Copies of this chain bind each other. A is one copy, B any other.
Amino acid sequence: MSGTNRQWQLGSRPVGMVKESDFDLVEAPRPEPAEGQILIRNLYFAFEPAMRGWLNDEKSYLPPVGIGEVMRASAVGQVVASRNPDFAEGDLVHGMFGWQEYCLSDTKPGAMGGVSRVPAGIEPQWVLGVLGGTGLTAYFGMLEIGQPKEGDVVVVSGAAGATGSIAAQIARIKGAAKVIGIAGGEEKCRWLTEEARLTTAIDYKKEDVRLRLKQECGDAINVYFDNVGGEILDAALVNMALFGRIALCGGISAYNEKELPPGPRHYMQLVIRRCTMQGFLLLDYFARAREAIDDLSGWIASGELAHAEDIQEGFENAPKTFRRLFEGKNLGKQLLKVADPV
């Protein structure tokens, strides 16, 4: 096998809002697997807001993507050449294969090198969303950090996003009395109440979130699952119930700010209302992935869990598709289809 391997490399560190021009489209030679290695052709890329943080030259839970390196990203792919007895041509696999057409892997676990099989009987792209990082983040974040109890009032921001949509529905499945999703735009809000069957959706683009939360559940939010930060986090803080729990999953409102914006002005409500605000990352729960996948698959099969994918197309559109997350365009999991399986 020979030919080229197009890659999106990080060209420069974004300042403020990430731009398409921060990435360089490069043609590299297509690699050949050595003994023990496999060559994967990528089919779908997955996009998450947290990837924006990987572009900053800051110490975090993963090293930053280096200038000139292929952009780190989860992907589903198909084995097109194998010199590893555990993998055959045609196998569907997923892992951190990056924004490139082909990924060479020694199949050993690691931040960029691990390869997992796509289970039989599901759409391959599900392993990037509801049964992948975002679904599992929702699962452990809601159940381990949010800990909704029967009868609780649960609020989720970024509720039409890949993680928020699953987190909110898990609270419903676990018996929350009221689940309120905050999202931007009519279409997302309709999806939340009609498809995801939340109690209510608040459209932050048209409504005063603080006032609406007060009306819907003033002083009564037992669990707030936050994906956005900023004013919406403050709106939740002033409406928490005593001894409420805030599961901090993300803060997309600040990810593209040139300077770190002010934090939650009303954080002292944590004292007055005796609340807990706790951050978490999926990587601490990897060992329990099976449990989450079993539960999530079961809820999909029984019709209890709705999930949406926003699938764009074309390898050349990777940076543009990434920006959709920060433009609030995606409903559900943002994916980019870059090739068809053979």
Contact = CB atoms under 8 A, between A and B. Distances in A.
Contacts of A284: 274
Given A262-B262, A275-B279, A277-B277, A267 B267 contact: yes
The complex is assembled from copies of this chain, and their number is 2
A254 interface: yes
A267 B263 contact: yes
B276 A281 contact: no
Given A276-B276, A276-B277, A277-B277, A250 B271 contact: yes
A268 interface: yes
A208 B42 CA distance: 49
A229 B271 CA distance: 12
A306 interface: no
A260 B265 contact: yes
Interface residues of A, number: 32
A281 B274 contact: yes
Contacts of A280: 271, 274
A197 interface: no
Interface in A264-293: 264-281, 284
A248 B270 CA distance: 8
B281 A271 contact: yes
B266 A263 contact: yes
A261 interface: yes
A274 B263 CA distance: 17
A264 B276 CA distance: 15
A60 interface: yes
A251 interface: yes
17 contacts: A61-B272, A229-B268, A248-B270, A249-B271, A250-B271, A251-B267, A254-B268, A263-B263, A267-B267, A267-B277, A268-B279, A271-B281, A274-B279, A274-B281, A275-B278, A276-B277, A277-B278
